[in-house]
Amino acid sequence: MFKKCLMVFFIMAILCLSVYTLMQTNKNKEQNLKAFSDSNSKVENDKQKIDINQQNRYAAAAKKLDAYLKEKGFNGTVLVTDRNNVILRKGYGYANMKDKVLTTPRTKYRIGSITKTVVAVSILQLQEKGKLSIEENVNKYIPSFPADKNITLRHLLTHTSGLPEQGKGKVDAASRQKLVTWIGSQNLEFPAGTGWRYTDYNYMVLAYIVEKISKQPLAEYVKEHIFTPIGMDESGMGAKFPADIFFAEGYTKKDNEFVATPKLRMSWLYGCGEMYTTVEDMKRLDEAIMTGKLLSKQSLSDMFTISPARKYGFSFYIYPDYYHNHGVLAGWNTFNNFNWDKRIFVILFSNVQNGMTDAFNQEFRKMAKDLLEGK
C-alpha cells in the first residue's frame, strides 16, 4: 500500500513539474516573440522614416524619366539605378515589330563598339599574367605588322595609333591574319602617339592578339575569363544569335516607319562590335571592372587614365563626373553611363539605329542624375 502511494506521489509530482515547465516555456516564448515583434516593428518603422523621402524622390524620378522616354518615342530598354536601388528598369516598344514582341528588361541587344571594353579587359588580364605588355610594339606579337610604324598596344587601346578610320577594303576579313596584315599596311594619319583618331582597326588588331596569345577564339576567352566568372549569363559574342526569344531585331527609322536592317557583315565587327548583352549584364560588367573582380588596381588605373590627346582611356570616355561608352550598328544604338563615386548607372539600349543621338543620351543622363540628387 505504501509503495502504491509513493508511486502515485511521484507521478503527480512529475506531472505538476511538467505543467509548470510548459507554462514557463510558453511565457518565455510569448515574451521573446513580443520582444522580437517589437524589435522588428521598430526596424521597419525606422526603415520607413529613413527611406520615405528617398522613396518619394525615386518614385518622382521614375515617373519623370518614364514620361521623357515615352514622349521621345524611345524603343528599347532602360536601366537607371542609384546605389543598387532600381529607379527605372523597363522595356519600351517592340523587340520584334513584325511579330509584335515587346521589349523587356531581359531583351538582348547587340552593343556595337561597347564590345571594345571586353577586348581591353582581355588584353589587361593577359598582361597581368605576364603574357604580353601593352608598351610593346605590335610587331612583337604580329610579325606581319610593320615594326617601323612604332605602334604599341597602348596606342591601339587609346586610339592614338594613327591608323585611319575603318573603310571598305579589298581584303578577306573572314581571315583574321589577312585582316590584321592588311590593317598594318594602311598609311598612318599621324605618327603613333601624336594624335587621336577613333577607329575600329585598333581593336581588331587587339582582338587578334588576344586570340594568338591565349590560343583561344575571342568569344571563348571572353566567356571563360569575363562572362562566366561574374555571372553575365545573358551575354555572348558571335555572328549569330542563339535561338532565344529575348533577342531584339534591328531596325532603322525612315519616314516614321521602322525598316528591318539587312544582316551585318560580322567579319568586319571582329573585336569591335560582335557582342550582345542586356542592360543588367552591362551594369554587372561595369561593376566587376570597378570592384577588381576582373582587373588589378594597376590595370584599372591604366584603363581609366586619360590619353594626352583626348578624354579617353581604354574603351571608355572619361569625364569629371561619369564614365561613358557608346555603340552603334545598323539596327542598334546603345549607351552605357555611370558615375562610380555615386554609384549612379544610366544605361540605354535601343534596337533602332537612329532612335537615339548623343544629345538624347546626355539629356537623359543629366536628368536622371539631377533627379536622383534632388536637384
- 280 lies in a domain? yes
Give me the sign of the Cα torsion angle 212, 202, 135, 339.
negative
- 142 lies in a domain? yes
- 344 lies in a domain? yes
- Map 131-179 to HEC letters: CCCCCCEHHHCCCCCCHHHCCEHHHHHHCCCCCCCCCCCCCCCCCHHHH
- 25 lies in a domain? no
- 200 lies in a domain? yes
Range of the domain at 239: 58-372
How far is the C-alpha of 264 from the C-alpha of 205, rounded, in Å? Answer: 20
The CATH number of residue 136's host domain is 3.40.710.10
- 28 lies in a domain? no
- 319 lies in a domain? yes
- 14 lies in a domain? no
How far is the C-alpha of 192 from the C-alpha of 211, rounded, in Å? Answer: 24
Residue 252 burial (CB < 10 Å; 0-12/13-18/19+)? Answer: middle
Which secondary structure element, helix H or strand E, spans residue 236, and what is its range? strand 236-237
What's the domain count of the chain? Answer: 1
How far is the C-alpha of 191 from the C-alpha of 160, rounded, in Å? Answer: 9
Under DSSP, is residue 265 helix (H, G, I), strand (E, B) or coil?
A: coil
pLDDT tens digit at each of 375 positions of the chain? 444 444 444 445 444 444 444 444 444 433 332 332 332 333 333 333 437 888 889 999 999 999 999 999 999 999 999 998 999 999 999 999 999 999 999 999 999 999 999 999 999 999 999 999 999 999 999 999 999 999 999 999 999 999 998 875 667 777 899 999 999 999 999 999 999 999 999 999 999 999 999 999 999 999 999 999 999 999 999 877 667 778 999 999 998 889 999 877 777 889 999 999 999 999 999 999 999 999 999 999 999 999 877 899 999 999 999 999 999 999 999 999 999 999 999 999 999 999 899 999 999 999 999 999 888
